[in-house]
Amino acid sequence: MSNIIKLVRLQADNKLDLFKSDRRKRLAALFKFLITLFLITAIGYVLSLRIFFTGIKSNVELISFVITITQVISFIFAVGYVISDLYLNKDNVLLMVLPVSPNQVFISKMIVLYLKELIMNTLYTCPLLIIVGLSFPGINPLYFVLMPILLVILPLLPLSLAAALSVPLMMVIRFISKRLVIWSTAIFSLVAAGFLLYMKVINLITYVFNSEKRQIEAIMEFNEKVLYYGKWNWPSYQLSKGMVNISDTYWFLLFMLLIVVIFTVGIILVRPFFFKISMGAIEGNAQKVKVGKKRNKVHSPFVSLLLKEIKMVFRSPNYLFQYFLYVILMPIIVYAYDAVLLPFTKNAIGNKMVIGAHVLIVSVMAMLSNIVSASAISREGGAFYIMKVSPTDYLTQTGAKIVFNMIFSITMIILTGLVSLRFIELKYVLVITPAVIFASLGHMFLSYELDLKKPMVDWYDTNEISKVGGSTFKSILFGLGIALAMGLMIFDSASMSQLYKLLLFSIIFCGYRAYILYLRVAYCYDRIEV
């Protein structure tokens, strides 16, 4: 048992510094989690007062409906966790050669998966259950007593189903991952389908709430759907009855027992498949490597450095989402804002405020996407010193890092502009988009300069991309200030002349920051001693 606990802590330390920190920091992390949970619940409850006031009924069927929806969401997360952390995690090879049994490694990884699922599931399930319970007329106190037990047991169900599904899913992934065209097409299709579904949902919401008559019809239809689907999921419905009525509490106990049985079956199914993949990786048989004569590729120093930057970030999906999450979310958030507010009938002042807020939101997302430049040097660790003495001038090294960030940021800003064309006139988009691009470039140069002045590098670092220093927080603060200034310029007047002034301001700011960075590169590089 002690070996399993040590393995759990070892895997947790690879993702968090929680166990390495002192007791005060651990308590602070726990307090932060509880505060986050409280804020989500409080904000959700305030919003629910308005929602339930419109006519939505809180009943046993609604509790069942909420549990069903949250379990579906948990299942989607669990599938990703099982595939990435159980099968494709690079620590499998290390853990399998430690002086512990393979079964202990498997159990420890399942515990880590459960804890991860428990944290995520609690963040959205707990507030929803509390909100529904507080809105339930004459709710039995037993409901709140059984809720903590339910939150502890619930993650086992999606995790066990995801584990069972992961076996055939991994076979498909291993097949298409060796075929680059199929793999790229599949990923692009999933992303496109998800974005189209998201647009459809947003359009449906705006269609419903733009008319009072449609709101009443939608609420009545929602209550009918809840009654139907709440009873349709029979186990969830009986579980909800067991939480509300003391006479039906035995259903709650039976459901808990059923989840434990399903989880045990899921572990039995996935266990041999995990051993096969892990041991195959150790023996070098995880995939057959085709060795053939290839022509040596000769790249310019700039292209070689650019490829190095791409490989560093794309070596793991976690690193990719950590640094480009805001870039990915930019068109999604902006589309939701435009779809909700822009279709409403507004007077001249309201129109200026809405367009100004549009500029503010786009600018904020664009600036936050530049945090990759705020750690461009720090994330290289000890490898930075090797690059510094390489036969490549400092401006070329700087240019490769900046261009890498530019490729993603500018692409998503342009995509966001194209998405905005559905709600904003073309003449506005043609000015706002380049204005945001130039402002983002200026902030990008500033972010790189901040890291260049005081990088967190050490010869014994191991290229840890997730390192976050003071330059990252300064970059975020400067970015928010720039975005706020751009938004305020349009709040006062959304005329074309004001937009041209905004564009001119962005160009001047970009040129100034580029010139300052050009002057500082050689000076700051020389001061970073080996």
Per-residue pLDDT tens over the stretch 201-220: 666 666 655 555 555 666 66
Q: How many CB atoms sit inside 10 A of residue 141's CB? A: 8
Per-residue pLDDT tens over the stretch 361-415: 788 878 877 777 777 777 666 666 666 666 777 778 788 888 888 888 888 888 8
> CB neighbours of 301 closer than 8 A, spacing ≥ 6?
391, 392, 396
Of the spans 168-182, 316-330, 375-389, which averages the highest pLDDT?
168-182
Range in 102-106, 187-191, 303-307, 515-519 with the lowest mean pLDDT: 187-191
Q: What is the DSSP letter of 247?
A: G
Q: In residues, how long is the chain?
A: 530
**pLDDT in the model for residue 221:** 67
Six-digit token pair at 52? 């339930």
Range in 181-185, 332-336, 456-460 with the lowest mean pLDDT: 456-460
> CB neighbours of 156 closer than 8 A, spacing ≥ 6?
114, 259, 260, 262, 263
Look at 144 and 381; give whichever has higher pLDDT. 144
**pLDDT in the model for residue 58:** 61
**pLDDT in the model for residue 507:** 93
Mean pLDDT of the chain: 75
> Does position 67 have pLDDT exceeding 80, yes or no?
yes
Give mean pLDDT, residues 82-88. 79
Q: Which residues of 499-526 are buried (b: 16+ CB within 10 A; e: fewer)?
A: beebbebbbebbeebeeebeebbeebbe
Query: pLDDT band at 345, cuts 50/70/90?
Result: very low
Query: pLDDT band at 21, cuts 50/70/90?
Result: low
Give mean pLDDT, residues 463-475. 62
**pLDDT in the model for residue 508:** 94
Six-digit token pair at 102? 């393979």
Q: Tell me which residue has tokens 């002192």.
A: 22
Rounded CA-CA distance 442/511 in Å is: 7
Query: pLDDT band at 341, cuts 50/70/90?
Result: low
Per-residue pLDDT tens over the stretch 497-528: 888 888 999 999 999 999 988 888 877 766 66
Q: What is the DSSP letter of 83?
A: I
Give mean pLDDT, residues 411-427. 83
Query: pLDDT band at 489, cuts 50/70/90?
Result: confident
> Does position 323 have pLDDT exceeding 70, yes or no?
no
Q: Shortest CA distance to 482 belongs to which of 449, 451, 505?
A: 505
What percentage of the chain reaches a pLDDT higher than 70?
A: 69
What 3-state DSSP class applies to 11? helix
Q: What is the DSSP letter of 291?
A: P
> Does position 231 have pLDDT exceeding 60, yes or no?
yes
Look at 471 and 317; give whichever has higher pLDDT. 471
**pLDDT in the model for residue 389:** 66
Give mean pLDDT, residues 140-158. 85
> Does position 490 have pLDDT exceeding 60, yes or no?
yes
Give mean pLDDT, residues 425-447. 88
Rounded CA-CA distance 209/455 in Å is: 50
Look at 316 and 433; give whichever has higher pLDDT. 433
> Does position 265 have pLDDT exceeding 80, yes or no?
yes
Per-residue pLDDT tens over the stretch 89-101: 777 777 777 888 8
Q: Shortest CA distance to 428 belongs to which of 493, 525, 350, 520?
A: 493
Of the spans 229-233, 294-298, 365-369, which averages the highest pLDDT?
365-369
**pLDDT in the model for residue 286:** 46
**pLDDT in the model for residue 165:** 84
Q: Tell if the pTM clears 0.75, that is, is over it.
A: no
Give mean pLDDT, residues 442-448. 88
**pLDDT in the model for residue 220:** 67
**pLDDT in the model for residue 461:** 47
> Does position 463 have pLDDT exceeding 50, yes or no?
no
What percentage of the chain reaches a pLDDT higher than 90?
A: 3
Distances (CA, A) of 507 to 297, 435, 441, 504, 510: 38, 7, 9, 5, 5
H helices of 245-300, where? 249-283
**pLDDT in the model for residue 466:** 46
